[in-house]
Amino acid sequence: MKILVCGGAGFIGSAFIRNYLKNNSDSKIINLDSLTIGSNLANLRDIENNSNYKFIKEDIKNESTIDDLIKHVDVIVNFAAESHVDRSIANPKPFLQTNVIGTYSILEAIRKHDKQFIHVSTDEIYGDAQGKTSFDENSQINPSNPYAATKAAADNLVASYYRTYGINSITTRCTNNFGEYQFPEKLIPKTIIRSIKNLKVPLYGDGMQIRSWIYVNDHVQAIEDLIKKGKAGQVYNITAYEEITNKTIVKKILNILGKSNDMIEYVGDRPGHDKRYSIDCKKIENQIGWKPKHEFDDALKQTVDWYVKNPSWWDPLINENTLHPQPWTIS
Ligand code: NAD
């Protein structure tokens, strides 16, 4: 199997590449990434000399390169995205360009060359689940911030290409990921790094926002299972059903690191902040046979330990945005 992974230098894409090559040593992966914010080739140091792996620095919006590359592979998995909600609030335009136009560029190549396409989306497209039961794949799309709106637009585009041109596409909608190699701007690594540095840990609003969490290796295993067993034209939710408030997560991290809860600093809430995300993933469990393998507390402890042991990975990535409590105020 030959796979073109777009956005493979990011957090989840690099986990997918490491995991896929470990499980399928006879497969070949081309990793195409434009190396924007959130990317880090150091995530792939362990496999950079593997003869079945090749990196290409390129933008998914470059239609002719995508078209050329697609001819030589069986599957495209697209992780490439502008992915940080706070940055989308500060400046939505790059989100429209990559998340919508970039997806369009891949779809155009897919429809010409008839390859399998895995479109990696997010539970954020369903919007706020406060007061509701969990969303399934047929629930209404109702995004609250520019990031989620651009991902929702891409989901609709993929669905329209399946309906209109009969492309071989699968859309995945996963909950919040955590694990090793996550960029320091996101909640869990930011909390770990600031705690290690004895800096106050910012919490938006009252910290009672509820998110579902999944260990990244469970997410990428679900994508591998869908490449092998997923059905074209379908959407699959992916979650580990771990609904936890941001405040509880931060307290758990402080506890693992032996720090006091007094390190928490409440800061102004994110504009349009959804109170709760919640999805149901019975479809992938029942139809594909995938289930998450990692317990939240064990995987969180493992993640914290990894950041403690690997400051050489995160220290070069630390900047004002990691240390600033409200990144959307940064232009
Ligand atoms: P990330 O920001 O760590 O990685 C994104 C990668 O895409 C980076 O390496 C970046 O350089 C690359 N990229 C951005 N624009 C590009 C372009 N125009 N051309 C080529 N490469 C480009 O993000 P992540 O957390 O790994 O998320 C990956 C995907 O998973 C995204 O589509 C995101 O929407 C989705 N997702 C993320 C989460 C999560 O919790 N992180 C949850 C559900 C879904």
Residue nearest to atom 44 of ligand 1 (CA): 122
The answer on 169 and 301 residing in a single domain is no
The answer to whether residue 98 sits within a structural domain is yes
pLDDT on residue 307? 98
- Catalytic residue check, 320: no
Task: Identify the residues whose C-beta falls under 6 Å from ligand 1.
Answer: 6-7, 9-13, 33-36, 38-39, 59-61, 79-83, 98, 102, 120, 122, 151, 174, 176-177, 183
The answer on 205 and 142 residing in a single domain is no
Total domains in the chain come to: 2
Site to substitute for ligand 1 among 36, 76, 88, most atoms within 8 A of C-beta: 36
The answer on 36 and 81 residing in a single domain is yes
Specify the DSSP class assigned to residue 223.
H
Say if CB 193 and CB 314 are below 8 A apart: yes
**Burial letters for 109-143: b for 16+ Cβ neighbours within 10 Å, e otherwise?**
bbbeeebbbbbbbbbbbbbbbeeeebbebebebeb
The answer to whether residue 290 sits within a structural domain is no
pLDDT on residue 325? 46
Which residues does 255 contact at the CB level (< 8 Å), separation at least 6? none
Beta bridge partners of 168: 116
Q: What is the CATH number of the domain that holds 249?
A: 3.90.25.10
| Catalytic position from the list 147, 215, 236, 277 | 147
Distances (CA, A) of 272 to 47, 86, 146, 213, 275: 40, 11, 10, 20, 9
Query: Hey, is 28 helix, strand or coil?
Result: strand
Q: What is the CATH number of the domain that holds 40?
A: 3.40.50.720
- In the chain, which residues have pLDDT < 70? 320-331
- Catalytic residue check, 218: no
Q: How far is the CA of 299 from the centre of ligand 1 (A)?
A: 21
Backbone angles phi, psi at 173, to 5 degrees: -125, 105
Q: How far is the CA of 121 from the centre of ligand 1 (A)?
A: 10
The answer on 103 and 72 residing in a single domain is yes
The answer on 194 and 90 residing in a single domain is no
Ranges of H-type helices in 77-139? 85-90, 93-95, 103-113
Query: Hey, is 170 helix, strand or coil?
Result: strand
How many other CB atoms are found less than 10 A from the CB of residue 302?
13
pLDDT (tens digit per residue) in 276-296: 999 999 999 999 999 999 999
pLDDT (tens digit per residue) in 49-87: 999 999 999 999 999 999 999 999 999 999 999 999 989
The answer on 52 and 74 residing in a single domain is yes
The answer on 192 and 116 residing in a single domain is no
Residue 194's domain comprises 187-210+242-273+295-323
- Catalytic residue check, 124: yes
Residue nearest to atom 22 of ligand 1 (CA): 80
How many other CB atoms are found less than 10 A from the CB of residue 169?
25
How many other CB atoms are found less than 10 A from the CB of residue 28?
18
% of the chain surpassing 70 pLDDT = 96
- What distance in Å separates the CA atoms of residue 155 and residue 236, rounded to the nearest whole number? 12
pLDDT on residue 270? 83
The answer on 136 and 122 residing in a single domain is yes
Classify residue 3 as exposed, middle or buried by CB count within 10 Å of its CB (0-12, 13-18, 19+): buried
- Closest atom, ligand 1, to C-alpha of 177: 40
The answer to whether residue 282 sits within a structural domain is no
pLDDT on residue 132? 77
Which residues does 151 contact at the CB level (< 8 Å), separation at least 6? 81, 99, 121, 122, 124, 125, 143
Residue nearest to atom 17 of ligand 1 (CA): 59
Helix H or strand E segment including 191: helix 187-196
Specify the DSSP class assigned to residue 135.
B
Residue nearest to atom 42 of ligand 1 (CA): 176
The answer on 254 and 112 residing in a single domain is no
- What distance in Å separates the CA atoms of residue 188 and residue 106, rounded to the nearest whole number? 31
The answer to whether residue 287 sits within a structural domain is no
